[in-house]
A and B are shown apart, each in its own frame.
Chain A
Amino acid sequence: MKRVVITGQGAISSLGTSAIATMEGMREGRLGISDLVIRDVDRLSVKIGGQVHGYDGADYFSRQELVLYDKFTQFALLSAKEAMTQSGLDISENLSLRSGVIMGTAGGGLHTQDENYRNVYEAGKNRVHPFVVPRLMMNAAASHVSMTYNLQGPAYTVATACASSNHAMGQAFHMIRSGATDVMLTGGSESMLVFGGIKAWEGLRVMSKDACRPFSANRNGMVQGEGAAVFVFEEYEHAKARGAEILAEVIGFAMTSDAADIVTPNQVGAARAIKGALLDAGLNGDEVGYINAHGTGTTVNDKTECAAVRDVFGTHADKLMMSSTKSMHGHLIGGTGAVEMLACVMALRDGVIAPTIGYEQPDPACDLDVVPNIARDAKVNVALSNAFAFGGLNAVIALRSI
């Protein structure tokens, strides 16, 4: 089997318009959640989110590009650009045939949908822009990344709700490990902060109206965010031969389905995914120093996740660190695992563990070291990233420093 390494990363989130700025925000424990600035916000009961304020697509893309790029595609392309620049990869004609892209998203072009539903239902218009379909389709971001960098191998989008990014990156890992490709651009993108996207979540009654406080006894729900992250996954020998800077190695991945409930998380399914990732990577539990938690800030997720971690790691659960960066950038739904992977790379490469901010009261059901409120310097060799989606779909990735 081939080894897989990360040679570039890019992102945009409410913490900043690059991976560098996003990680800086994580290091500072900065709060990226604030009052939403969107149309009809007065008709929402949830009025906060991890929004990329001041963002204007026209600052980055031409008019001809913008007519085809929904915001989720723009976020993906900006992230891909940063990642490709960092990787220093030159996609030759030969390499293009062995390169691909797998992106995660849960909602696709929701800005396009929201605007055009308004046009036809609310405004009663009978005509929509000719590019509504190519803008809103779930694979738009993956396709535009493929076109921009001439990646002619496998290209597709994975939609598994809050685990979309982890499933996407896991599949990209498999592609290179199996020898099917040499380079994969992978990650996730989401821009669900539109009236319909938030209203739908409101209905479930799991949203907080004031803050995301994962693992804190007074947590009262999740807060949505928006943004993207894209990584360059590359076959190890290929990266080494061209002298690329290697950020981390991807060493394991596992996915499981609870086959139980459409919304309630399940300790057994989560634990099986974590164990599976360890097994796939050939790791002992005690080698894991950091877990980027799914940590949504809902009552049920956080206690279920902590119980699953205890179940898998036993006494080592008290030695490892586990934080939820959703407390800072919000829950990016289909894009969340990708942005959170940055925290794993930061832990492995820079020795800085991102904190769980907003932590106010210990909860006996979440009695792990959640790195409360302030980032911590620590040497970590192996990190995991958890994602547990609605629908009972779990995906866990293991990374190692190199």
Chain B
Amino acid sequence: MTQSVQDQVIAIIAEQAVMDVSEVKLDATLEGLGIDSLGLVEAVFAIEETFDVQVPFNANDPADSQFDITNVQSMIKAVEGLVAAAGN
């Protein structure tokens, strides 16, 4: 069975947050989940490896990157967009 993008992104975030996937809510923020800048960079790397995409993200200015990290939902949406664009 193929996992949905949503399930896979949540699994990646849960691993960084050291939580069970059931505890990662869609409206949760990275800060709320206790994920710091290093954790975020590692999550971005895991997303790139999992979906074979390039995530446009610069740690110097996360807000200005074209990758919306407002909350878990926005990240899932951004990854879905990248996956669709890559045609993977």
Contact = CB atoms under 8 A, between A and B. Distances in A.
A220 B60 contact: yes
B50 interface: no
B59 A204 contact: yes
A246 interface: no
Contacts of A178: none
B37 interface: yes
B38 interface: yes
Interface string B50-75: 00001001111100100000000000
A207 to B, nearest CB: 8
A262 B59 CA distance: 15
For chain B, what secondary structure do more than half of its interface residues adopt (helix, strand, loop), or is it mixed? loop
B45 A220 contact: no
Interface residues of B, number: 12
Interface residues of A, number: 15
A84 B27 CA distance: 64
Contacts of B54: 45
A221 B61 CA distance: 9
Contacts of B37: 263-264
Interface string A36-62: 000000000100000000000000000
Contacts of A264: 37
A263 B38 contact: yes
B45 A206 contact: no
Interface in B31-55: 37-38, 41, 44-45, 54
A216 to B, nearest CB: 12
Interface in A284-321: 298-300
Interface of B: 37-38, 41, 44-45, 54, 57-61, 64
26 contacts: A45-B54, A203-B41, A203-B45, A204-B41, A204-B59, A205-B41, A205-B44, A205-B57, A205-B58, A205-B59, A208-B58, A219-B60, A220-B58, A220-B60, A220-B61, A220-B64, A221-B58, A221-B59, A221-B60, A262-B38, A263-B37, A263-B38, A298-B60, A299-B60, A299-B61, A300-B60
